């Protein structure tokens, strides 16, 4: 009886090993138009450039071009002068992920992604940027991109209070 059990166990173990060692079946490639979402490339000129993997300095992390920053600052100043947009409130902004390029603020002051501007009341500088919603009460802090903080000339190591406006 004991021998039968050992033989049976050995056969089952070898069967299992044989199934594991089998070459996996090939999967048919997914064809376009099958209802699945495909990654889309960004149009040239509007693509955010990621910082190099070995980035260590502010200049290396801030890949937003001077032209992009100037355009965002000019558009925001025009909106300030014309009184465009709706004030959403004030928030304390910390430096967001420095490896995430572009002009943006992640804030609980918005419930959906949109365009807007931030004004730094200390010096009156403003920047047009992407408003990205995050969870939390409206009184919670926000995270702002390195490039946006540099445009409004806010200290990178402080927690500046900024005014947030929707477009």
Each residue of 11-41: pLDDT tens digit? 555 555 444 455 544 544 545 444 444 443 3
Do 121 and 161 contact (CB within 8 A), yes or no? yes
Q: What is the pLDDT of residues 137-156, one digit of tens each?
A: 999 999 999 999 999 999 99
Q: Is the pTM of this model over 0.85?
A: no
What is the sign of the dihedral through the CA atoms of 137, 139, 141 and 145?
A: positive
| Domain residue spans of the chain | 61-166
Query: Residue 7 and residue 57: Cα distance in Å, rounded?
Result: 67
What's the confidence (pLDDT) of residue 6?
59
Write down the pLDDT at residue 167: 87
With cut-offs at 50, 70 and 90, classify the pLDDT of residue 106: very high
The string of DSSP letters for 56-79 reads: -SHHHH--S-HHHHHHHHHHHHHH
Q: What gap in Å lies between CA 63 and CA 73, rounded to an integer?
A: 16
What's the CATH fold of domain 61-166?
Barwin-like endoglucanases (2.40.40)
Would you say 109 and 91 are in contact if contact means Cβ atoms under 8 Å apart? yes
């Amino acid at each position: 009886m004991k021998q039968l059990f050992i033989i049976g166990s050995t056969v089952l173990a070898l069967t299992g090993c044989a199934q594991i060692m089998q070459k996996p079946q090939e999967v048919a490639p997914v064809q376009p138009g099958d209802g699945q979402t495909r990654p889309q490339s960004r149009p040239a000129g509007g693509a955010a450039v990621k910082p190099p993997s070995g980035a260590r300095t502010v200049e290396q992390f801030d890949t937003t071009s001077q032209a992009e920053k100037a355009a965002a600052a000019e558009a925001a100043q025009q909106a300030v002068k014309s009184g465009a947009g709706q004030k959403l409130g004030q928030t304390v902004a910390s430096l967001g992920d420095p490896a995430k390029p572009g002009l943006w603020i992640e804030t609980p002051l918005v419930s959906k992604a949109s365009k807007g501007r931030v004004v730094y009341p200390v010096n009156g500088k403003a920047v047009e940027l992407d408003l990205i919603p995050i969870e939390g009460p409206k009184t919670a802090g926000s995270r702002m991109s390195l490039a946006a903080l540099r445009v409004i000339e806010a200290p990178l190591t402080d927690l500046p209070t900024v005014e947030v406006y929707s477009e």
